[in-house]
Amino acid sequence: MASASDKPGKALTYRDAGVDIDAGDALVERIKGHVKRTMRPEVLTDLGGFAALCGLPKGYKNPLLVSCTDGVGTKLKLAFLTNKHDTIGIDLVAMNVNDLVVCGAEPLFFLDYFAAGRLEVGVAEQVISGIADGCKQAGCALIGGETAELPGFYAAGEYDLAGFCVGVVDKDKVIGGSTLEPGDVLLGLASTGFHSNGYSLVRRVFLDEARMDLGRPVDELGGTLGEALLRPTRIYVRALRRLAASGLMKGAAHITGGGLVENPTRMLPAGARLKLRIDPRAWPLPPVFPLLARLGNVAPEEMRRTFNMGIGMIVAVPAGAADAAQSILECEGEKVFTIGSVLRSDQVDAPVEFVT
């Protein structure tokens, strides 16, 4: 005989367990317009299928596919704290396409992964709208993605993001630093701030140690602290694509995690007896960096190793064409500084040399 505890109770649904299928369907309807504005002619499918189809652009003779994946890191925490979700998607796209374009590739399409404990349709739409904005800036199609509702897995009001980008480049036009030589000039493209790296230290200094209010105006930042910290990562795709097409880009480095210490040398080919010399005095330091260094008592070496220090992308160009290269980049809206040069080295894997 069954006991009372064996008797069935209320008929449960997936929604009772924390997953709202209707909310997911509503989100798909709301983001269709955002997705549509990113489309390229090579995309052959609409949103909603199990997989997306995309052809290769015309004009490539020996095309290679190029892929990147990345996230936004703990910068997301600031979006949660400020309830501002419309730019974090730009960061997600930027962290992928800026990596992809350094080899001369054209970003072709992008996919996102959005996961939350409970799907808040309005918040998710803001995030995906930002992703679409980033895709428009980069010229790639938001071809698909995944929205996951995972009850009990994430804290209330929080979500996670990951992005995936595929691009294309002709085999004989891949930029890998093989033509770099002593005397080449390093041009630095200005960043918009911290971009999407070092935010565990950023939050520790500003929020935990200095206990600053994100909504508080800070005179030296020209706005609130939250506005300065959430300024989206700059997307350099159009500028670098044009520079690569000119034949002047010999190498490039996206300045992300590892800052100015680790990233610039990634443009050097393996085994090269070359080194990079960078002069930190060659560009104006955005005020958010010295403010963090002062409040957190962060040493200059640690700042360079963690942050971009105001330079989000470095390109190497021939010395005789540096002015022409700078003009091309500035015509695409970039702030450009001559920040260093390529030198001969008596060793391989030489570290960046900073002028003091």
Tell whether pTM > 0.75.
Answer: yes
Q: Are residues 201 and 305 in the same domain?
A: yes
Q: Are residues 123 and 221 in the same domain?
A: no
Q: What is the pLDDT along the chain (356 residues), one digit of tens a residue?
A: 555 556 667 898 888 888 888 898 899 899 999 999 999 999 998 888 899 999 999 999 999 999 999 999 999 999 999 999 999 999 999 999 999 999 999 999 999 999 999 999 999 999 999 999 999 999 999 999 999 999 999 999 999 999 999 999 999 999 999 999 999 999 999 999 999 999 999 999 999 999 999 999 999 999 999 999 999 999 999 999 999 999 999 999 999 999 999 999 999 999 999 999 999 999 999 999 999 999 999 999 999 999 999 999 999 999 999 999 999 999 999 999 999 999 999 999 999 999 98
Please choose, from the candidates 238, 236, 249, the residue with its C-alpha nearest in 3D space to the C-alpha of residue 324. 249
Please tell me the distance from the alpha carbon of residue 39 to that of residue 44, in angstroms, as a whole number.
10
Contact 170, 77 (CB under 8 A): no
Asked whether residue 8 is assigned to any structural domain, the reply reads no
Please choose, from the candidates 150, 95, 145, 124, the residue with its C-alpha nearest in 3D space to the C-alpha of residue 312. 95
Q: Are residues 153 and 196 in the same domain?
A: no
Q: Who contacts 341 (Cβ-Cβ below 8 Å, separation ≥6)?
A: 183, 184, 185, 186, 276, 277, 319
Domain with residue 90: its CATH number is: 3.30.1330.10
* Domain, as residue range, for 233: 185-354
Q: Which of 110, 142, 173 is the last residue of a domain?
A: 173
Contact 89, 232 (CB under 8 A): no
Please tell me the distance from the alpha carbon of residue 104 to that of residue 340, in angstroms, as a whole number.
22
Number of structural domains the chain divides into: 2
Please tell me the distance from the alpha carbon of residue 312 to that of residue 260, in angstroms, as a whole number.
9
Please tell me the distance from the alpha carbon of residue 168 to that of residue 253, in angstroms, as a whole number.
18
Question: Residue 336, SS3?
Answer: strand
Q: Which of 122, 139, 173 is the last residue of a domain?
A: 173
Asked whether residue 308 is assigned to any structural domain, the reply reads yes
Q: Which of 152, 173, 194 is the last residue of a domain?
A: 173
Q: Are residues 147 and 125 in the same domain?
A: yes
Q: Which residues are 67's β-sheet partners?
A: 166
Asked whether residue 218 is assigned to any structural domain, the reply reads yes
Asked whether residue 162 is assigned to any structural domain, the reply reads yes
Asked whether residue 4 is assigned to any structural domain, the reply reads no
